[in-house]
Amino acid sequence: MSDTKSFCRTALLALVASTALLASTDARAGGCKPNGQVCATSMSCCSRNCAKPIMKKATALFGLCCAPGARVFNGACCTPATSCPAGTCGTISDGCGGTLNCGGCATECLTCMSNACVSACTTGEVCEQGMCVTTTTTTTTTTTTTTSTTLCVTLTNSQLMQSIDDEPATTASGNLIADSGAVDPDGDVVLVGSVNFDAATSSVGLTAIASVVVEVGAPHDVIQVFSGTTLIGTLDVNASTGAYVFTNAAGAESLTASTNVEFAFSLDDGSTANVCDVVNGTLDVVIAGDDESTETTTTTTETTTTTAAPTCANGGIACGAACAGACGGGTCATDQGCNIAQHCGSGPVCFFGSAGSECNSDADCPTGQVCISMGVNGACNAIGAEHCFAVCNESQPG
């Protein structure tokens, strides 16, 4: 009897404790409990889902507020899966302690293994109309012998040569297909595949600019050749017919030596069945250098050196020479300065007129006058013996 009373007392205490817990958790703002809070009824939860753990013999009194559709698993809210992943079969976990039935496989050719549909057919069986059946395979081997004949475009002349002088607007013409003797044995039409300027084999210093021009449906390869920045000529090739024309520009006249302009071309029969349907050749256009006659002119210049008579400007005139200008055409006499000792300067001069101011050298005299010594023996620097005299401007033949 005492055991019964003890059990009742324990249950009562648990009920009181639970009620106290419920009261404490019900003290919340807004009047409802958020997810994760302990609850007794769904009405107390904001989500209206008081999920309670599943018990074997009774219903739990308390649970947790969880999102709609969620339940308590391992002490926390858990939302179970409601559909099976694609390609699964059999029974799988819903993630929250429950299970999902994903059904079986669609046909008898498939069996469910580890929740996946795999082939149920054994070796030697195939799936036909949803069932595994044994089939017999007959292999027939067919041997095909193919005899191929390699046909190629051939040339009888792979290097074409043209010479042209350097006159502007002069042309050189020909045909890449006909002149090279191109032949296609199986009868295909031979066309010009490409034309390119070859700087490696052309004269040094040449460059080119290429373009493709379509004229009345026929493509033309046009290549302008330059020496530096000067255009010396243009090659125009009709790709359909093979005809070409090289025309000198005005710059060709400036060439001083023979200039080789080489172009590499290919011919094609247009067929993809042959392994060697493209052949290559070259076109060399040699522009002759300046062919005008040249003359070497030797010019002999005779230089006549004339020794002019001394003048006042260059230091004096010869004795007896005629004086011009202010001298009035008179002659240069001894008393007019032919004696160098009388000139207190650099050399003999022709002077005239009356004595001027005193001087020690020509620097003391006004422009147009020189310092002349009138002393004994014509000595300069004799006190009071030097005076400035007018000088003749030039001499004239006497």
Q: Which two tokens stand for residue 174?
A: 């020909």
The sign of the CA dihedral 291, 292, 293, 294 is negative
pLDDT at 339 over 50: no
Q: Does 192 share its domain with 260? A: yes
60 and 96 share a domain?
no
List the structure tokens of 247. 């025309």
Res 337: pLDDT: 45
Residues 199 and 233 in one domain: yes
Residue 357 has pLDDT above 50, yes or no: yes
Six-digit token string for 303: 């230089």
Higher pLDDT, 28 or 227: 227
pLDDT given for residue 34 in this prediction? 95
63 and 87 assigned to the same domain: no
- Same structural domain, 70 and 99: no
Q: Which two tokens stand for residue 309?
A: 């008579």
Instruction: State which of 56-70, 228-242, 296-310 shows the largest mean pLDDT.
Output: 228-242
Residues 327 and 231 in one domain: no
Q: Is residue 306 part of a domain?
A: no
Distance of alpha carbon 224 from alpha carbon 259, whole angstroms: 15
**One domain for residues 95 and 69:** no
Domains held by the chain: number = 4
| Residue 54 and residue 116 in one domain | no
51 and 118 fall within a common domain = no
pLDDT digits (tens, 9 = 90+) for 294-313: 444 455 555 444 434 344 44
What are the residues facing 245 on neighbouring strands? 173, 236
SS3 sequence, the chain? CHHHHHHHHHHHHHHHHHHHHHHHHHCCHHHCECCCCEECCHHHECCCCEECCCCCCCCCCCEEECCCCCEEECCEEECCCCCCCCCECCEEECCCCCEEECCCCCCCCEEEECCEEEECCCCCEEEECCEEEECCCCCCCCCCCCCCCCCCCECCCCEEEEEECCCCCCEEEEEHHHHHCCECCCCCCCEEEEEEECCCCCCCCEEEEEEEEEECCEEEEEEEEEECCEEEEEEEEECCCCEEEEEECHHHHHCCCCEEEEEEEEEECCCCCCCCCEEEEEEEEEECCCCCCCCCCCCCCCCCCCCCCCCCCCCCCCCCCEECHHHCCCECCHHHCCCHHHECCCCCCCEECCCCCECCCHHHCCCCEEEEECCHHHCCCCCCCEEEEEECCCEECC
Flag whether 112 is in a domain. Answer: yes
Same domain, 92 and 60: no
Beta bridge partners of 283: 160, 263
Task: In whole angstroms, give the CA distance from residue 120 to residue 104.
Answer: 13
| Domain final residue pick, 240, 272, 287 | 287
Interval 209-231 mean pLDDT: 89
The rounded distance, in Å, linking the Cα atoms of 227 and 236 is 18
Q: Mind listing the pLDDT tens digit for each residue in 109-141?
A: 888 988 898 888 888 888 888 888 887 767 777
Q: What pTM does this model have? A: 0.39
3 in a structural domain: no
Determine, yes or no, domain membership for 293: no
pLDDT tens across 142-187, in order?
A: 766 554 555 678 889 989 999 999 999 999 999 999 999 988 877 7
- Tell me the two tokens of residue 296: 């070497």
Reported as a pLDDT band with limits 50, 70 and 90, residue 89 is very high
Identify whether the C-beta of residue 338 lies closer than 8 Å to the C-beta of residue 370. no
Judge whether residue 25 has pLDDT over 90: no
Share the mean pLDDT of the chain.
77
Q: In this structure, what CATH number is given to the domain that contains residue 245?
A: 2.60.40
Q: Which of 7-16, 220-229, 320-329 has the lowest mean pLDDT?
A: 7-16
Please name which of 176, 137, 134, 142 lies closest in space to residue 159, comparing C-alpha atoms.
176
Does residue 203 fall inside a structural domain? yes
Mean pLDDT score, 358-366? 84
The C-alpha atoms of residue 36 and residue 265 are separated, in whole angstroms, by 87
Report phi then psi at 86, rounded to 5: -60, 140
Q: Pick the last residue of a domain from 287, 303, 332.
A: 287
Residue 305 lies in a domain: no
Where residue 221 falls among pLDDT bands split at 50, 70, 90? very high
Q: Are 219 and 213 in contact (CB under 8 A)?
A: yes
Domain boundary among 287, 312, 344: 287
User: Is residue 187 included in any domain, yes or no?
Assistant: yes
Same domain (yes/no): 221, 337: no
Domain presence at residue 388: yes
Residues 179 and 278 in one domain: yes
Range of the domain at 114: 82-133
In this prediction, residues 258-263 reach a mean pLDDT of 94
